[in-house]
Structure 1
Amino acid sequence: MFKNTRLNGCLDEIELGFVEREATPKLLMKLGIQLHLTGLSLSNTVSILEIFGVERARSTVHNWVHKADLQPESNWSPDHVAVDETVIQLNDEQYWLYAAVDPETNELLHTTLEPTTNKVIAHEFFAELREKHDVDGAVFLIDGSHSLKHACRRHSLDFRYEKHGNRNSVERVFREIKRRTTSFSNCFSNAEADTADDWLRSFAFAWNQLI
């Protein structure tokens, strides 16, 4: 279990600027968002809220998460960055998840969900990553992907092939992302890819708060 002080800090980071007319107390809305993003199913999250006398549908909690528009913090300066591209299943379709992780802290720096993989998309991912963080002096750990290597060269970034070492702990992060995305897909069988992309960024925010 996470310490109460850590959880309270996470709740403080969740902004509810989208709320105009909502009967649920904001603290419980924040709690529902945080519980779901840290691993609790929507059904179990709803059950927790019922303990406090609040009855809400699973879709309502999902909408809270989506509208909160949570994002990982920007302007980090990691020494190393592990980057991966992997296939995930969303409904009956396959998408490519691009993710960048600081291997020293296991914090997620950036994620994006794409319908395919190629050199252009890899280039755009690195461009977005460089806009968000100071990574030009970092060493990128690449897992043999030709498109990622090409993007590193195009952006004049230092990189090396590494399948183990610093990537061992990072692979746990990637596995957890895939597991949680599968859970998301099971709960929302008709969700659009853009919605899943937003949800992944919200998950990255919560992951970084609690690791």
Structure 2
Amino acid sequence: MSKNARLNGYLDEIDLEFVEREATPRLLMKLSIQLHLAGLSLSNTVSILEIFGVERARSTVHNWVHKAELQPRSGQNPDHVAVDETVIRLNDEQYWLYAAVDPETNDLLYTKLEPTTNRVIAHAFFAELREKHDVEDAVFLIDGSHSLKDACRRHSLDFRYEKHGNRNNVERVFREIKRRTISFSNCFSNAKAETANDWLQSFAFAWNQLI
């Protein structure tokens, strides 16, 4: 599939059913969502809209992204799944980001933001991952986390310890997420964790379309 075809498909998948009465052309709304999730700051995204003669606040674009409720496509059947947990900071508070990545495609399969980390949370993350994707026969790549290993055992999933190799892909995803949350902290200014979690799922959707 060509890059243009993939990007056009990406725009088609952005659902604007939440819009009731909006003066902004829908194509420009979709383009704004796409540009922001692809890496453009809210300020720069607003500047792009101004080129088309449309003036909108940064908060308006942020609300479009939030209300679109984008998330990675379900029903994938990966051979391997790299799972990890990492600390990110939002509003000077510490959260734990859980993420599952298909190392063969670099697709983000599922993300979840939590206020802490423990075995109960890890178990719940795997339960939700199994609901969204067919991972029963996948080999899970775990990097030394006791809670993630325990969750694999409780779910009777095959796993192995791997520090490098295919795990480099999930580390790349985490680096990008951290870069985005640090560089564009205005996305999360005074935002609740639920809003940040929704944004991260939207980011995962965009990541899968653009990698």
Superposition TM-score, scaled by structure 2 size: 0.97
CA RMSD of aligned residues (A): 1.2
Q: What residue number does 1:148 align with?
A: 148
- In 1: Cα distance, 2:198 partner to 2:82 partner: 21
Would the aligned equivalents of 1:87 and 1:97 in 2 still touch at CA under 8 Å? yes
Note the 1:105-120 alignment, pairs <5 A.
105-120=105-120
Q: What residue number does 1:121 align with?
A: 121
User: Residue 171 of structure 1: CA displacement?
Assistant: 1.1
Q: Which runs of 4+ in 1 moved over 6 A?
A: none
The one-letter amino acid paired with 2:207 is: W
- In 2: Cα distance, 1:113 partner to 1:181 partner: 13
The one-letter amino acid paired with 1:91 is: N
Instruction: Give the % identical residues.
Output: 87
Q: What residue number does 2:41 align with?
A: 41
Q: What residue number does 1:179 align with?
A: 179
CA spacing shift, 1:194–1:183, aligned 2, 3 Å: farther
- In 1: Cα distance, 2:8 partner to 2:197 partner: 26
The one-letter amino acid paired with 1:35 is: L
The one-character-per-residue Cα deviations of 1:22-77 (angstroms, maximum 9, x if unpaired) are 00000000000000000000011001111111110000000000000001000000
Q: What residue number does 1:90 align with?
A: 90
- In 1: Cα distance, 2:15 partner to 2:114 partner: 27
User: Residue 169 of structure 1: CA displacement?
Assistant: 2.5
Q: Which structure 2 segments of 5+ residues have no match?
A: none
Would the aligned equivalents of 2:141 and 2:160 in 1 still touch at CA under 8 Å? yes
User: Residue 8 of structure 1: CA displacement?
Assistant: 1.7
Note the 1:1-211 alignment, pairs <5 A.
3-211=3-211
Q: More displaced, 125-134 or 7-16?
A: 7-16
The one-letter amino acid paired with 1:112 is: K
Count of paired positions: 210
Would the aligned equivalents of 2:188 and 2:196 in 1 still touch at CA under 8 Å? no
Would the aligned equivalents of 1:96 and 1:113 in 2 still touch at CA under 8 Å? yes
- In 1: Cα distance, 2:181 partner to 2:9 partner: 25
